[in-house]
Amino acid sequence: MPLDYDQLMATEVVNLPLSYNDSEAILYALGIGMGSDPLDLKELPYVYEQGDAFKTVPTLATVLVPDMFPPGLGWDFSQVLHSEQRLQLYRPLPAKADILIDKRVADVFDWGPRKGALFLFEAEGRLASDDTVLFTLGCTVMARGDGGFGGPTGKGPRPHRAPRRDPDLSCDIATREDQALLFRLTGDRNPLHADPAKASEAGFGVPILHGMCTYGIACRAILKTICDYDFTLIESFDARFTSPVLPGDVITTDMWQDGNIVSFRCTVKDRDEIVLRNGKCTLAV
């Protein structure tokens, strides 16, 4: 059954109540590998609740919105590919909060039967206490099995381009072989990240790491190198997913800094693969 454009554009959720606390913040930090050295005093505040010293990883916001792109939209969910993620923070994430979530289908573009449909999703998180905006999220999702439904044509947001020079600095972060099993507890329970048989059916030798885990690891690399672990410096974080990471891979994040804009790209050098590109991190001025 073809997609119903008008129905999709009317799909939204308003004022969804949600609470999180330091347990969710710590689990997310552990999921992207923080605390692997328990004696690292720079990372310890992200995985140990030390009162006022506790810190939150900015990209935690991306796992606070449940079902950012739900399966019940009339699409072939088995052919859905999360291709881009955008995050805007209006204030640093508190260690715990009661929030209200609005989320909607922002647009759907028809690229034809062979190429599929492009979905744009948006979400907003507000503090329940005073209704001020805490963060906004944007996702670009390719539904490869749903093109040709008669909808409008169009493109997603223009990707950020890194400077044409050698990176200003790089950061290597090793993933663990059990990393996907831990990160899935932040919300994405897709068996592709845990079940060897399902991974094999999809053409992978082992369950793959979540793209959103790679995204979080890129944020960790910028926190570590440019921000000296000051989480309040990161105001936005955008990237495009290009290739899966296998648990156990070493992810190299290359960075270019121009004022308060950090361009970044992630690679797995052992396979000479770019796994995340078009990265843009905006720092507080």
Q: Using one digit for the tens of pLDDT, what is the confidence trace for 157-209? A: 999 999 999 999 999 999 999 999 999 999 999 899 999 999 999 899 999 99
CATH of 5-143, one of 2.30.29.30, 3.10.129.10, 2.20.25.90, 3.40.50.150: 3.10.129.10
Of these residues, 22, 107, 168, 188, which one is catalytic?
A: 188
Strands 261-268 and 273-283: antiparallel
Q: Using one digit for the tens of pLDDT, what is the confidence trace for 109-152? A: 999 999 999 999 999 999 999 999 999 999 999 999 999 999 99
3 state SS of 256 = strand
Active site residue 82: no
Q: Using one digit for the tens of pLDDT, what is the confidence trace for 7-37? A: 999 999 999 999 999 999 999 999 999 999 9
Using alpha carbons, select from 273, 157, 88 the residue that is nearest to residue 265. 273
pLDDT in the model for residue 157: 93
Task: Residue 176: count other Cβ atoms within 10 Å of its Cβ.
Answer: 13
Strand boundaries in the chain, DSSP class E:
12-20, 80-89, 97-110, 117-127, 133-143, 169-174, 234-241, 250-258, 261-268, 273-283
Of these residues, 82, 193, 210, 254, which one is catalytic?
A: 193
Please state the pTM of the whole predicted model: 0.96
- Helix segments in the chain, DSSP class H: 5-9, 22-31, 44-47, 179-183, 196-201, 211-225
C-beta separation of 83 from 142 below 8 A: yes
pLDDT in the model for residue 234: 98
Q: Using one digit for the tens of pLDDT, what is the confidence trace for 237-248? A: 999 999 999 999
Rounded Cα–Cα distance for residues 69 and 79 (Å): 13
Strands 117-127 and 133-143: antiparallel
Q: How confident is the model at residue 80 (pLDDT cuts 50, 70, 90)?
A: confident
Answer yes or no: CATH 3.30.1490.120 is held by domain 169-283: no
Using alpha carbons, select from 103, 117, 97, 82 the residue that is nearest to residue 211. 82
Active site residue 193: yes
Q: Is-same-fold flag (5-143; 169-283)? A: yes
Indicate the domain borders of the chain. 5-143, 169-283
When pLDDT is averaged across residues 49-61 and rounded to a whole number, the result is 91
Token look-up 């072989």 returns: 177
Rounded Cα–Cα distance for residues 54 and 144 (Å): 42
